[in-house]
Amino acid sequence: MARSSARYVCPACAATRDTETPLWRCPECASILDLADGPGLTPAAIDKTDTSPWRYAAALRVPRDGAISMGEGGTPLIERRWNGRAVHLKMDYLAPTGSFKDRGVAVLMSYLKQHGVASILEDSSGNAGAAMAAYSAAAGIACRILVPASAPAGKLVQMRAMGADVVPIEGSRQDVSDAALAEAEKTFYASHNWQPFFLEGTKTVAYEIWEQLGFRAPDNVIAPAGGGSNVIGCHIGFRELLAAGQIDRMPRIFGIQAANCGPVAAAFAAGADDYIPTETTATVADGIALSRPVRLRQMLAAARQTGGAIAAVAEDEIVAALKSLLRQGLFVEPTSAAGAAGLGKLIAAGTIAANDTTVLILTGSGLKASARIGGLLGLDA
């Protein structure tokens, strides 16, 4: 069995454990688990023969031998204008299954395969489930995915076509998570929201941005935020680069939520460290519609410790941003447009300066939500 160099760390009770036995929560207090920060990276340690996350194998705490990859990572960083400002767009929707989730799932599934896990349970509104179905198939691991009954049909077809056992659950996205927790006693819970090895994969977007900008940090990173894996992954990745002496400051990290379902934005605005009562309703940004994300505290920390923010955008702002992205030839799903809408508000407020280097992460392909996009634009199929 391959050995990982990481250790589990519980942020609630401070318990630590080795990672030779895969876990999804702390055995002592049932909290989420983190991994202690890794060694970071130097330009010389990059494997320039690889474009996947394993390009940064020197900084990943999952052995490369037997790792699973389908060409995820290595996505373009292009320059465009947004609200009159030059910005960089990280095209993470150009992934094997059409979303950034492939980064995290590739590393997580490699770890689970190396440690003999034969069957997993996941819950997802779509993109993570599609990634989990694909990489489980590649790894030969049985995969059961609980999904909202209202999830876009294209995402459900994508999961089922790759052999996953897809189980629709009536109710909200949070109801799906609650149902998965009830099943987690019987099947290993590989939830992308709970698993720290998923974040070990998503942190590679920070490495890629650093490398693509000539081995420097941007001033600002903006990403849609539901469970927060891009926000937290960027915080981890850039923090490791800072500790390794490869950057001289952290970028400001901004997570963008839909106002219709924005528990982290509400807590940030209130100066709270935990959930505060908020009303949630449906949003076109279904990929970030999570009313009780388990890593809320880490998202708040990523924003506050870097001088960023967690902000919310209204439905009409998301739709307007989606139309603007489409007119630039960027066929992304509405969840990605939430990030763009947030970027527009930050520019309008003067939070982002004209000479800042700013990166917006585009997270999911519009092919996942073509029917919904057609409806929003009044187009026939």
pLDDT at 104: 97
Mean pLDDT across the chain, nearest whole number?
95
Answer for the pair 253, 268: CB distance below 8 angstroms, yes or no. Answer: no
Cα separation values, 266 from 117, 173, 224, 313, 314, Å? 38, 18, 15, 12, 13
Answer for the pair 36, 11: CB distance below 8 angstroms, yes or no. Answer: no
pLDDT higher than 80, residue 109? yes
Residue 174 pLDDT level (bands cut at 50, 70, 90): confident
pLDDT higher than 80, residue 5? no
pLDDT higher than 90, residue 180? yes
pLDDT higher than 90, residue 92? yes
pLDDT at 173: 78
Find the distance separating the first CA and the last CA of the chain, reported in whole Å.
50
pLDDT at 150: 84
CB neighbour list of residue 128: distance below 8 Å, 6 or more residues apart: 99, 101, 105, 122, 192
| Percentage of residues of the chain with pLDDT beyond 70 | 99
Residue 102 pLDDT level (bands cut at 50, 70, 90): very high
pLDDT at 151: 80
- Enumerate domains of the chain plus CATH numbers: 77-100+198-377 (3.40.50.1100), 101-194 (3.40.50.1100)
Q: Which residue has the tokens 């779509």?
A: 126
pLDDT higher than 50, residue 116? yes
121 Rama class: left (phi>0) / alpha (psi -120 to 50) / beta: beta
3-state class (DSSP) for residue 83: coil
CA distance 66 to 198: 17
pTM attached to this predicted model: 0.95
294 Rama class: left (phi>0) / alpha (psi -120 to 50) / beta: alpha
pLDDT higher than 70, residue 225? yes
CA distance 109 to 154: 23
19-27, long-range: CB < 8 A, 24+ apart: 19/61, 19/111, 19/197, 20/115, 21/115, 22/111, 22/112, 22/115, 22/117, 22/188, 24/184, 24/188, 24/189, 24/190, 24/191, 24/194, 24/195, 25/189, 25/194
pLDDT at 156: 87
Query: Per the structure block, which two tokens stand in for 30?
Result: 């049932």
pLDDT at 381: 57
pLDDT at 4: 66
**pLDDT tens for each residue of 336-358:** 999 999 999 999 999 999 999 99
Question: 3-state SS string over 268-317?
Answer: HHHCCCCCCCCCCCCCCCHHHCCCCCCCHHHHHHHHHHHCCEEEEECHHH
**pLDDT tens for each residue of 27-79:** 999 999 999 999 999 999 999 999 999 999 999 999 999 899 999 999 999 99
pLDDT at 339: 98
* Closest to 299 measured CA to CA, from 32, 26, 36: 32
**pLDDT tens for each residue of 244-288:** 999 999 999 999 999 999 999 999 999 999 999 999 999 999 999
